[in-house]
Structure 1
Amino acid sequence: MASDATHDPLSIAYYCTGHGLGHATRSIEVCKHLVERGHSVTVITAAPARVFLREVPSARFLLRKAVLDAGSKQLDPFTVDVKGSLEDYYNTAVVRRDEMLAAEVQWLQSNNFDLVVSDVVPLACTAAAMAGVPAVCVSNFSWDFIYSEYLTTQRRTEFKRLVWQIAQDYSTAALLLRLPGYVPMPAFTAIEDVPLVVRHARKFPAQVCEELGLPLDAKLAVLIHGGPMLM
């Protein structure tokens, strides 16, 4: 795709949560499109670098490793460690919040970014606001919604404050691009619904069946379970 002739190229800081690989795969598709339009994108994530770099081979695409949130901690593919999840986020993004914010603000300003995109790292929104850079979130859920469900069994005061802090972070974003299958996200003041973002198939069905040694008319089901991410 040619560069966008109607707009000057932007320098974009794209924050992607390191929780699982679903956020990474959809972020990759958005980043591909942005780079193809002539923009420069730097991804900030705790997800494996190879997942991004092998998919977007461009000099305008960079990656910076950073841990700015914690996601959900899973004991196995079917069980969430509710208490551990809240403790992980608290120790990651609350205890060191001031230090992390100062570092991100300085980094955003020193690199002259035009836009921050977040999927869906809370602290990135506040850092952008403090740096004077507009922030856009891309997601179908927010961590304040997820963690608020955990408060039904974990009622410690610091966990309640954690959820409110995340909501306040999101409220500083200029816009939420809301993907299908969304949950309530009242923290965002401006919302625009967008189509589903998915990876594009690289092989025809016949190729897949041939590689797997299956007949063309075989009916396939793919079972995917969440679980610890292999780094």
Structure 2
Amino acid sequence: MASPILYLAITNHGFGHATRAAAIAAEIKTLNPEITIILATTAPRSVLEAYFPGDWIHRPRAFDVGVIQADSLTMDLPATLDKLKEIRAQAQALIRSEANFLKQNRVGLVLGDIPPLAAPIAQAAGIPCWMMGNFGWDFIYRAWGDEYPEFNDLADWIGDCFSQADRLFRMPFSEPMPAFSSTIDVGLTGVLSRFTPEEVQEAFNLGAIPQEKIVLLTFGGLGLNRIPYENVKHFPDYIFICFDLSAPELPNLIRVDDRFYRPIDFAALAGRLISKPGYSTFSEACRFDVPIISITREGFAEAPILLEGIQDYAQHQIVEAEDFFTGDWSFLAQPMTPPRKAEPLAKDGNKSIAQAVVDYFQS
């Protein structure tokens, strides 16, 4: 009997979607090693392998554009609009091509995070499509409709694509996502460290540093272009950890240049995390109970929802972007604000989604 085949389509935006989807794929493979998994994404194989080691098939395909960005905060809306119109113009050809691929390879289920075209592709192939995420691209684009009215029509088209999905696994820190007809709320998703805290302490000489003095700096796969690293010199008794290969050499700044280490590998050691609004970063910090200092992000509709989320569920500080870029980081001397809600979020999102996929193939 042929092994079941899962086609996992990943949105073409940054690396956050790719890493969380790869982590869920790894969980599926752990629960049932017989499932063949195809990762359909333009994310580099090296990034995917860091979160999903083992056997899988890489199918480089771009189903959407997300947002075209120079770094994790700087967005190019006209270029995004032009690319999105190009994708819509080519959509029917892409749907036919990919649906033929699914049928020829006897794929049994499409799981999307969260490219809109995944649903009509699955429907054209005659198989179910499940989606997972905390926002839809219709929600993001519609927020720009006043400035660029063409985004409104494209958001309607994307909402129609989403309405063809059979199920949505809605993650925490989410917008309502009303285009989906069947929604299942799940817990936090994320990846696990490859190392024990002791192994990381030894590798980076952190054993003598109190946890509250270890600050993890991470700004997503695209990073930031202008981090004022000189501010770390104001806190000589702290250790700052970053993954920016262009960061300067400073006595209390550890620049992690070994790509085998990831931000999550330091989460259990960090007393605080400094970041920009991003689901994967916030979710993984909450899974490890790491206090979050987030800068603000203007013009991206997901950001206020994420900031509301950490105010509800994490020890936090919210710092205006201008204060982060031009200030002296005196916020580090301020106490963290406790979460507004006492009940923590469930942390079983990976397992919930993976188990549903395994159960589907066994039914």
TM-score of the aligned structures, taking structure 1 as reference length: 0.87
The equivalent of 1:45 in structure 2 is 41
Q: Encode CA deviations 1:31-88: one digit per residue, 9 max, x unaligned.
A: 11222213111010011112223543444x2110111110111133322222222222
1:184 Cα offset (Å): 2.1
Change (3 A) 1:66 1:201: same
The equivalent of 2:29 in structure 1 is 35
Equivalent-residue separation in structure 1 for 2:73 and 2:214 (angstroms)? 23
Equivalent-residue separation in structure 2 for 1:212 and 1:54 (angstroms)? 20
Query: What are structure 2's unaligned runs of at least 5 residues?
Result: 224-363
Q: Residues 1-231 of structure 1 correspond to what in structure 2 (within 5 A)?
A: 10-36=4-30, 37=32, 38-59=34-55, 61-91=56-86, 93-156=87-150, 159-214=151-206, 215-218=208-211, 219-226=213-220, 228=222
Equivalent-residue separation in structure 2 for 1:40 and 1:134 (angstroms)? 17
Larger radius of gyration: 2
Equivalent-residue separation in structure 2 for 1:216 and 1:228 (angstroms)? 29
Q: Encode CA deviations 1:89-119: one digit per residue, 9 max, x unaligned.
A: 222x212111111101111111111100000
Equivalent-residue separation in structure 2 for 1:225 and 1:88 (angstroms)? 25
1:152 Cα offset (Å): 2.5
TM-score of the aligned structures, taking structure 2 as reference length: 0.57
Equivalent-residue separation in structure 1 for 2:196 and 2:221 (angstroms)? 29
Query: What are structure 1's unaligned runs of at least 5 residues?
Result: 1-7
Equivalent-residue separation in structure 1 for 2:112 and 2:167 (angstroms)? 10
RMSD over aligned CA atoms reads 1.9
Q: Encode CA deviations 1:190-226: one digit per residue, 9 max, x unaligned.
A: 0001111111122232332332223241422222224
Equivalent-residue separation in structure 1 for 2:174 and 2:109 (angstroms)? 24
The equivalent of 1:4 in structure 2 is none
For CA contacts below 8 A with separation 6 or more, give which structure has more relative contact order.
1
